[in-house]
Amino acid sequence: MATLDSLKRALRQTAKTTASSPKQPLSDTQYGVGFDILVQDSGCMAYQDFIIPQLSQLLSPLFISRTHISALEIGPGPKSILGHLPAHLRRKVKRYTAFEPNGLFATRLEEWLCPTSEMKSPLPCLDGPPDIHRVPFVLKDTIVNGNNTGDDEDEYDIILFCHSMYGMKPKHRFIERALELLVERPQGGMVAVFHRDGALHLDGLVCHRTASFPSGVVRVADDDEVLDCFAPFIAGFIIQDVDVDEAIRIEWRKVCRALGRREEAHPDHLFFSSPEVMAAFTQHATTLPELTAQVPLGKDQAVKNREARLYRPASMIRPTEVRHVQQCVRWALKHGVGLTVIGGGHSGHCLRPNVVSVDMGAFDKVHILTAGDDGGDAGSDSGSDSSSFVVAEAGCKTGDIVRKAMAAGVTVPLGARPSVGAGLWLQGGIGHLARLHGLACDAIVGVVMVSVETGQVLCVGHVPSQHRPADAVRPANEPDLLWAIKGAGTNFGIVVSATFKAYTAPTYLTRNWVFPLSDNLEARLRLSDFDKLVARKLLRNCSADAYLYWDAGRLHLGVTIIESSTSRSTFETFTPTPVGATLGPEDAFKAVDAVGLFETEMYVSGMHGGHGGGKTSSFKRCLFLKSIGEANVVDRLVVAVKTRPSPLCYLHLLQGGGAVGDVAADATAFGCRDWEFACVITGVWDRAQDGTEAARSAVRWVYKVAEELLSLSSGAYGADLGPDPRDATLAAKAFGPNRPRLARLKYSLDPRNVLAYACPLPKALMEQKVVILVTGESCAGKDYCANVWVSVFPKCTHKRLTARTVSISDATKREYAATTGADLDRLLEDRAYKEQHRPALTRFFQEQVRQQPRLPEQHFLDAVYGAVDVDVLLITGMRDEAPVAALSHLVPDTKLLEVHVQASKQTRQTRRGCHGSDDNGNNKDSSNNRSNLTALDYRPSLAFANDTAGNEAAERFAEQHLLPFFHEDLQRLANMVRPIPNFPRPDIEFRHVLGISQQPGGLALCTSLLETHFIGDWAKVDAVACCEIGGFVYASALASQVDVPLVLIREAGKLPPPTVSVIKPPSHISSLASNSTKEKRIEMERDVVPRGASVVVVDDVLSTGETLCAVLQLLCKAGISAEDISIMAVAEFPVHRGRELLHRRGFGRINIQSLLVFGGA
Ligand SMILES: Cc1cc2nc3c(=O)[nH]c(=O)nc-3n(C[C@H](O)[C@H](O)[C@H](O)COP(=O)(O)OP(=O)(O)OC[C@H]3O[C@@H](n4cnc5c(N)ncnc54)[C@H](O)[C@@H]3O)c2cc1C
């Protein structure tokens, strides 16, 4: 698929060779028709998927920090992009100026901004009419007649170039001109540029942020008339002579058809690749000389990745001293810009356009320390059983470290290629010793790094004293930092050196087999035998890799088994393994040392004539698989290889298990430990094809295979994932259960997002907030109620709460409108129109979810992260069943509530008659026609009966039931929960919930909150049940307060018979403390509570939910119906998904309330 840029070049070339007649620019009408073809249909996707979200994210902080915004837009076309921002941002725009030289566009823009009908203006709060200049925006020194940019005094908060930089040369001068027009106070403004076709060379300017959308595509109808309008628009001219023009257009149609790609699903269309970039600049854009005057410059040879080399960084700095790295960080912090870091230069994101990159290549020393060499101070990692350490500076490559270490008789478990750099060990590091010694990051015991929060040099963990810089300090959050460095280390600071545990250097025996495969059946058989009979039977000192590749017209399976031994004699006789019986005699074997091992890799030495002759480029993404022998996995792997776009693409399956899985998922940031094979999907193309369609299609293949394998995988490897939006779904599977903790650490350790282009982590919420999911019956008045409640929060007495309501279905509507051509504005605003599209919209959403099962979660997170600026977010349009149970772990610091709005059938019918439905086309209850609470298989947090007209009842409900969640007593209670780092195990931050009772007034406060937050009627409660020990403390005080008998649940054998008992797995915290997985029995006296009684279970903590499940099973066994039970917990840890467990085990209809919510362990 050609890019629009290459199409332009081809069209111009054709015009040049076909005729030499004079050209003329397009008329406004011709330009307008071409533009409409471009932006309709698929062009919209770029707006919806990239431009609008990027712009909203970029401008939100700026808009929120000001009471009003003045905007200048250069070449907006017929509609301003600002009109597509969320309503709360649009309402801030008080002044709008544009330069639009196309007269037709200018008129359409004016009409759009100032509609005469009852339609609302997209910028409804403008102080005056928009100021639309029907002339181009030009440089100051080219202004001929008077002032071109309006009043000289005019200043703007934002200036936008959305696809309008094409004719501007040199582009950086136009940005500089725009920068002069930005407001200076209070914090300056921003210039944002969107540019199609990727490359935007703005020499010398440093951007505040940049983003790319490489998968943008333009779809054009394959129709003579359409192409006759489209081609001149892309070429940028027509020919004066009418006959020649006609002849050229016929040639141009051919060019379009030759270069455009056809897709089976759209046989009548041509597709062109249209990558987009965004770059945002502030007044700091011109401050590069301030940095380059202090630090040495580098050269781009440091970068191995040839795709990355296509980017033009603002500058490449090559620090030679730690203070240079500090200067880079301090400069970045001062000017609010990001940095990239270059280690081995193998990833695609070590360079970004208009971003300063810091090449660590000069830090290239390796130091080997044997016992006693470490200055006698084992630092905070004295637990290491290794007596030797390797200190590697961050510019060292794998080969450097392995070679130097080997000379001293030791080694570090690193990766398979010698040229790979620090990115490997900071993000994991899978190599042939991983089964024996773990990942490379597991061997890290300490680092020296430059903090991107402060610019200080930090010493973290065990760093031998002679390798600690004199000014290095130990950070307060040292355990967190060391934890994060081990697997997600590229996001938290610039690492200067790492100290590794060293292991005795082994020698290796490598054995290779190659099996041609005739069909899927044979592939299944071979891979299954390889997995079950070979790989899984190997000792830890062996690792078996498999390669699936196409060679000589056939699919092949290559197998390499690498056996390591620290005793040379081992290899004189082969270790008896089951390998021979299953694989037969090997094709080749070799005994090598660690350096020789680099050359024995099958893809270097065997496949495709030895790495395609070496003159290739590659692109990789890696997923973790638990089994590669299952038929469904094999079939996908085989299809992947069969559909490879270029001959050299292959799949590499690296064996894991062993020591990799010995480490608990949450013990290091790496997180994904439960896998047997890392499947590296490797797209390979000829180096001469870098930057061409061949390279792009190999990259597309890698992402497609990754997407197809994702549902079968147990995680994704974070290394190589970067700012490419296609990485987002993979990044969501990286780091296992550690994502929320990483999000919080990123927020605290890199608060200014200096390392903005490393592996994407989820954004942490600013503060604990409340998110209310407003669900309910069709036409019950959910949107209405949500709007009433939003207005109640700011009236809250002790602090002015900010609140907003969003519909989660808006994202679906946007995508639906873009795909079907439905009118988005009407879908969002016009009830009747919305109703008409409801069935199709529902089908569309269901199909989307079929293809992307995690889409609802993504929409939810987008809604939450899009509202970090408010205290309360109300979300309507939820589809999920039991949404609090399903979603709370995604926002573990957030109090997530569901308020179910009900109305009688009659009320709903009346409302439907008046307005159609108030649903937004995406409503769970409307789709399955549930009419009341009893039809749900779970219990929402609260229910509101919305049968009376007017706001009063809804307001009262909010005051009585929602405002209490903001009562300052809850905050007081939260403040009594002491965090205790490294308890009961290192890396765990324990929240001492039971400790509330040891604080003065703590038990009384907690009791009173439990009493008042109970949503039922205490007079109807027959017993308060509790399980030792945390539950006893809070339940007894509460039972006494509400004068209800207590039911005690204890370990078996402690209560007098007759009793009922059930098995209880260990609680989360006791399993952490003792690593015990032993189950116990718990019991209660059989007749202590009458059958059919109403019981409130009280516990101190809800975490995994196992204890509560056991208590509920016990109560059920004692004759208490689940319908008659409620749960109250003092604190909840949503990350452990306790609610989900209760729901899964059939206790979803029990109301659960927790006073406090804590993220983390
Ligand atoms: C040919 C090849 C073979 C590979 N083999 C293996 C393998 O056997 N095992 C394996 O696990 N992986 C392997 N990988 C994947 C490899 O781990 C990643 O590509 C890794 O990101 C490369 O690191 P780098 O330093 O070479 O690249 P870079 O692009 O320089 O860095 C990668 C990331 O690390 C960041 N970074 C680098 N240095 C620092 C620093 N000092 N401080 C903070 N951040 C830093 C960069 O900013 C970037 O985000 C391989 C990749 C390739 C291309």
For the record, the structure tokens of 1050 come out as 């204890």
User: Does residue 600 lie within any of the structural domains?
Assistant: yes
Task: Check whether residue 415 and residue 518 sit in a common domain.
Answer: no
Q: Is the CB of 274 inside a 6 Å radius of any atom of ligand 1?
A: no
Tokens of residue 1153, six digits? 């309330």
Alpha-carbon distances, residue 431 vs 188, 416, 436, 622, 652 (angstroms): 49, 6, 10, 14, 13
How much distance in Å is there from the Cα of 501 to the middle of ligand 1?
Answer: 20
pTM: 0.71
How many Cβ atoms from other residues are within 10 Å of residue 896's Cβ?
28
CA atoms within 13 A on the CB side of 659: 21
- Kindly give the number of the ligand 1 atom that is closest to the alpha carbon of 490: 44
Residue 171 lies in a domain: yes
Q: Are residues 553 and 645 in the same domain?
A: yes
432 lines ligand 1 (CB under 6 A): no
Phi, psi (deg, nearest 5) at residue 165: -95, 0
CATH number of 296's domain? 3.30.43.10
Is 622 a pocket residue for ligand 1 (Cβ < 6 Å)?
A: no
Give the integer Cα–Cα distance in Å for 1131 and 953.
Answer: 30
CA of 32 from ligand 1 middle (Å) equals 46
Q: Does residue 438 share a domain with residue 325?
A: no
Integer Cα distance of 795 and 802 in angstroms? 10
CATH, residue 638 = 3.40.462.20
The response to whether residue 1031 sits with its C-beta less than 6 Å from ligand 1 reads no
- Cross-strand bridge partners of residue 888: none
Spatial contact of 623 and 717, defined as CB atoms under 8 Å apart: yes
Residues of the chain above pLDDT 90, percent: 61
Q: Which numbered atom of ligand 1 lies nearest the CA of 416?
A: 8
How much distance in Å is there from the Cα of 4 to the middle of ligand 1?
Answer: 32
Residue 401 contacts residue 414 (beta carbons within 8 Å): yes
- Rounded Cα distance between 753 and 333, Å, is 9
Q: How large is the greatest C-alpha to C-alpha distance in the chain, in angstroms?
A: 106
Pairwise CA distance, residues 370 & 389, whole Å: 6
- Residue 978 β-bridge partners: 992
Compute CA 999 distance to the chain's CA centroid, rounded to the nearest angstrom: 40
Q: Are residues 518 and 430 in the same domain?
A: no
Ramachandran category for residue 77: left, alpha or beta (phi over 0 → left; psi -120 to 50 → alpha): left
Residue 1104 falls inside a structural domain? yes
Whether ligand 1 lies within 6 angstroms of the CB of 394 is answered as yes
d(CA 734, CA 237): 48
Residue among 384, 393, 431 nearest 412 (CA): 431
Counting ligand 1 atoms within 8 A of each CB, the residue from 324, 458, 490, 653 with the most, and so the one to mutate, is 490
What long-range pairs does 144-150 form, CB within 8 A, spacing at least 24? 149/72, 149/99, 149/181, 150/97
Q: Are 200 and 353 in contact (CB under 8 A)?
A: yes
Q: Which helix (H) or strand (E) holds 407?
A: helix 398-407
| Position in ligand 1 atom list of the atom nearest CA 395 | 41
Which residue type occupies 788? V
Q: Identify whether 917 is part of a domain.
A: no
Let me know if residue 1026 belongs to a domain.
yes
How does DSSP assign 19-46, residue by residue? --PPEEPPPHHHHHHHHHHHHSTHHHHH
> Could you give the CA distance from residue 888 to residue 1139 in angstroms, rounded to a whole number?
9
DSSP-assigned beta bridge partners for residue 483:
none
Pairing outcome for strands 1095-1102 and 1023-1027: parallel
Rounded CA-CA distance 745/764 in Å is 8
- Cα–Cα dist 1066/700, whole Å: 46
**Phi, then psi, of 295 in degrees rounded to 5:** -125, 155
Query: So what's the pLDDT on residue 145?
Result: 52
d(CA 746, CA 484): 9
Of the residues 359, 379, 396, the one at which a domain ends: 359
Strand partners, 542: 563
- Residue 430 beta carbon below 6 angstroms from any ligand 1 atom: yes
619 alpha-carbon distance from chain centroid: 20
Specify whether 296 is located in the same domain as 434.
no
Where a domain ends, among 966, 982, 1004? 966
Q: How far is the CA of 397 from the centre of ligand 1 (A)?
A: 10
Q: Give one DSSP letter per residue of 319-387, joined into a string.
A: -SSHHHHHHHHHHHHHHT--EEEESSS-STTS--TTSEEEEGGG---EEEE-TTTTTT--GGGTT---S
Residue 490 sits in a domain whose CATH number is 3.30.465.10
**Angle formed at CA 1007 by CA 1156 and CA 1056, multiple of 5 degrees:** 105
pLDDT for the residue 913: 63
2 domain-assigned: no
Of 716, 508, 733, 720, nearest in space to 620 by CA: 720
- Paired with 807 in beta bridges are 876
Q: Which amino acid belongs to residue 1021?
A: V
What are the b/e assignments for 314-338, b being 16+ CB within 10 Å? bbbbbbeebbbbbbbbbbbbebbbb
> Which protein residue has the closest C-alpha to ligand 1 atom 34?
423
**Is 447 in the same domain as 494?**
yes
Q: Which of 948, 966, 984 is the last residue of a domain?
A: 966
- Number of domains observed in the structure of the chain: 6
Number of other CB atoms surrounding residue 1017 within 10 Å: 8
619: left (phi over 0), alpha (psi -120 to 50) or beta: beta
Residues 232 and 235: their CA atoms lie apart, in Å, by 5
Q: CA angle, 201 as apex, 56 and 217 as ends, to 5°?
A: 55
According to DSSP, the residues that pair with 195 across neighbouring strands are 277
- Distance (Å, whole) CA 323 – CA 315: 18
Say what the pLDDT of residue 923 is: 43
Residues 458 and 497 in one domain: yes
Residues in the chain with pLDDT values less than 70? 41-44, 64-65, 117-118, 141-153, 186, 198, 300, 371-386, 568-578, 580, 604-605, 610-614, 763-768, 796-800, 866, 868-869, 913-935, 986-988, 1067-1077, 1160-1161
Where residue 34 sits, what CATH number does that domain have? 3.40.50.150
Residues 500 and 537 in one domain: no
Claim to verify: residue 47 and residue 133 sit in the same structural domain: yes
Q: Do you find a cis peptide bond into 170, omega within 30 degrees of 0?
A: yes
Question: What distances in angstroms separate CA 1081 from CA 297, 550, 1064, 1102, 1117, one per listed residue?
Answer: 68, 57, 5, 19, 14
- Residue 17 located in a structural domain: no
Same domain as 1050, residue 954? no
Question: 1016 and 998, same structural domain?
Answer: yes
Co-location of 79 and 192 in the same domain: yes
Task: Note down the domain range covering 1022.
Answer: 969-1157
Q: Is residue 15 part of a domain?
A: no
Between the CA of 402 and the centroid of ligand 1 the distance, in Å, is 16
Residue of 311, 350, 441, 685 to test ligand 1 pocket, by largest number of atoms within 8 Å of CB: 350
For ligand 1, whether the C-beta of 864 sits within 6 Å is no
Nearest C-alpha to atom 36 of ligand 1 is from which residue? Answer: 423
